[in-house]
Structure formats: structure tokens, C-alpha cells
Amino acid sequence: MEHRIATIGSHSALQILKGAKDEGFGTIAVCEREKSWPYRRFKVADSIIELDRMSSFPETENELIKENAILIPHASFMNIMSIGQIENLKVPYFGNKSILKWESDRTLQREWLRKAGLTLPGIFKKPEDIDVPAIVKFHGAKGGKGFFLAKSGEEFHRKIEEHHGKTYIIQEYIVGAPIYIHYFHSPLDDELEVMSFDKRYESNVDSIGRIAAKDQLDMGLETSYNITGNVPMVIRESLLPQVFEMGEAVVEASRKIEGRGLIGPFSLETVITPELQFYVFEISARIVAGTNPYINGSPYTALRYKEPMSTGRRIAREIRQAIKDRELHKVLG
Ligand code: ATP
């Protein structure tokens, strides 16, 4: 029986399912009831499994196994399941599950990025240490919701009050241009590809400039970083060598920390300073939503491929190749 490609109906599922169809796979979307519209209407899912609550996803397992499905993870998996639950899934899973703990724990993530020799924003161990602008981030935050800035311990304590009981980290705030880099590492060819770049469109930080500074102060506005969408972009070409170097270093470090290392798509979230120094503030070890503007390929994939190549399609192509070479084990969980 042919393999089918399955994912949760959210995040980058349109791209993943369309890419799978382009590579000749049948597709399955697992959706929360009443949220299946996009997958039906855009005709990317051959079948849809509807659930009352997304948290009951593990119960669909037997059905997915029966359908010979391969699961493609994205951020929604991390939001609805614990790492333990993901590790226990028996349905074939694209990517290296063992890397998840390195990504989801901010301390381990830092260790990984440090091993790769990347420049990271500083961390303040306690609020009283804040002596430059800092960004306060909560664990498990969904796309920057609730993050705030503090320039001193006093400001931190004032603003943290409404976030009672949440765990957080205090990170140096880097002033510069935030740029998200999308990579794909193929374990079959042992090659790193730069797929695309995006910048985010976050509320309210990306629209606050529409209000005069005086009005911002009068209104007592606070910046927040809630993601609403992604904007496609290209990077200054002379920065590309560094982009490749950073990606290669992260892949190499991933092998040191976790055997098989990174499999498939990953992203470095960076801020570039006016001195053109990259600061990496996060890594995502799977497809990111910033690849969504490129369902029809990006300027960079256009250089390398003769047909439109999204990250979703690139995943399906890797699976297709692995099946052909009888090496599926190299790309699965
Ligand atoms: P996701 O997991 O969806 O990437 P998140 O909740 O982990 O989101 P971050 O991506 O870490 O949040 O941060 C959200 C936003 O905050 C970023 O897009 C960026 O604009 C800003 N930001 C985060 N860290 C820094 C930093 N150190 N300096 C400057 N800006 C930052």
C-alpha cells in the first residue's frame, strides 16, 4: 500500500499537503471539528479526520497506521502534545524525535547553539541584573504572546505582576532587523539547502510606528509580539555565505548532541545589528510558518530547482527519494 502524508490541520498544513500531492502522495488532514474549512476548500486533503478536541490526536493513531501514513510535524504538534506523547507515537514520524528535547528546553537549546559557535543574546539570571534593554519571554508562549520589555529590575517587577506563576527567561534585547532563515538538511544527500527567509508581522510591535511617539506615550502603549502573519523577503546577498556557515555549524553540532542530528527543515531566528552581526535567539527544528509565503517556491529554491519547490514539497520529495532508495529509516523518527 502506498504511503500517505498526514498532518494536523493548522500552521503550515496547506503547504505540507499541497507539496505531498505535488510529489504524488495521497494526503490526510487531522482537524479540529469546524476548523477543516481551509483543507477542504483549498482541496489539499484527500481525506479529513475530524476531532472534537485536538488534544485527542493520539487516538487517531491506529487509523493513521492503517492508512500507511507518515506524519509531518509542525509547531501545532508541540502545542497539543508533550514531548513524551510525541516520542510514544507509533505512526511513522518525519524527522528526529530525539532532537525535540534540545529544542524545547531553552537551556539545552542555548547549549546546542553555543556548540555551533553562534552569537546569542545575553541572558540575565535575575531581574536585578538587567542593565541593558531586555525581553522577557514565557515558556510555551505561542508566537511571542505576552512578551514584554524591561530596562531595569524595577520595571521587570512591575510588569511581571500580571503574569503571575508563569516561567520565563530574561534575554538581552537586540536592536536590529529580525530575519528568520529557513533551511532544509537532507540526510540522504547530506546537503544543507537554504530554502527562504521571512520576517514576521507581529501585533502590536510592527504597527506601533503608525502612531506618533507622543501619542504612544499618552496612550501608555506597551509593545507585544503576538504573531499575525509572515512577510516574504530576500536577504542582502553578501550575507549569504554567513547564512550557509551558520546552518552547517548547527547541523554539525546537532550530530554531536543527538546522533542522527537534524533531519529535514529547521529555522534560525535571528536579529541582524547595524554592524551586520547575526544574533541567533532561537532555533526551530522543523518546518516554520515563515515558509508559507513560498507555496510556489522562493527566489532561492527557484535557483536550485526546475519546478516550484516549497519546504512542504521538499519534505515530500525527501520521503519519495527515501522510499525509492529503501532508506526510509534515515528520515523517520
Ligand atoms: P516561536 O516559538 O513562534 O518562534 P516564541 O514564542 O518562541 O515564538 P520568539 O520567536 O522567541 O517567541 O520571539 C518573538 C518575537 O520577539 C520575535 O519575532 C522578535 O521580534 C522578538 N524577539 C525575541 N527575542 C528577541 C531578542 N533577543 N532581541 C530582539 N527581539 C527579540
In order of start, what are the domains of the chain with their CATH numbers?
4-93 (3.40.50.20), 103-119+175-202+229-324 (3.30.470.20)
Residue among 147, 169, 198, 277 whose CB has most ligand 1 atoms within 8 A, to mutate:
147
Going from the Cα of 104 to the center of ligand 1, the distance in angstroms, rounded, reads 14
Res 143: pLDDT: 64
Res 141: pLDDT: 59
Q: Is 168 in the pocket of ligand 1 (CB under 6 A)?
A: no
Whether omega before 230 lies within 30 degrees of 0, making that bond cis, reads: no
Q: CA 314 to CA 66: how far, in whole Å?
A: 25
Residue 115 and residue 94 in contact, taking contact as beta carbons nearer than 8 Å: no
Res 165: pLDDT: 84
Digit-by-digit pLDDT tens for the chain (333 residues) are 899 999 999 999 999 999 999 999 999 999 999 899 999 999 999 999 999 999 999 999 999 999 999 999 999 998 899 999 999 999 999 999 999 999 988 889 999 999 999 999 999 999 999 999 999 998 765 667 788 999 999 999 999 998 988 889 999 999 999 999 999 999 999 999 999 999 999 999 999 999 999 999 999 888 888 899 999 999 999 999 999 999 999 999 999 999 999 999 999 999 999 999 999 999 999 999 999 999 999 999 999 999 999 999 999 999 999 999 999 999 998
Q: Atom 25 (ligand 1): residue with closest C-alpha?
A: 173
Res 139: pLDDT: 79
From the CA of 145, give the closest atom in ligand 1.
Answer: 6
Res 33: pLDDT: 93
Pairing between β-strand 264-272 and β-strand 148-150 as defined by DSSP bridges: unpaired
Res 142: pLDDT: 65
Q: Is 124 in the pocket of ligand 1 (CB under 6 A)?
A: no
Amino acid code (one letter) for 273: T
Res 145: pLDDT: 76
Strands (E) in 144-208, as ranges, are 148-150, 168-172, 177-186, 191-204
Q: Is 170 in the pocket of ligand 1 (CB under 6 A)?
A: no
Q: Is 206 in the pocket of ligand 1 (CB under 6 A)?
A: no
| H or E element at residue 186 | strand 177-186
Q: Crossing angle, helix 13-22 and helix 311-324, to 10 degrees?
A: 40
Q: CA 214 to CA 146: how far, in whole Å?
A: 24
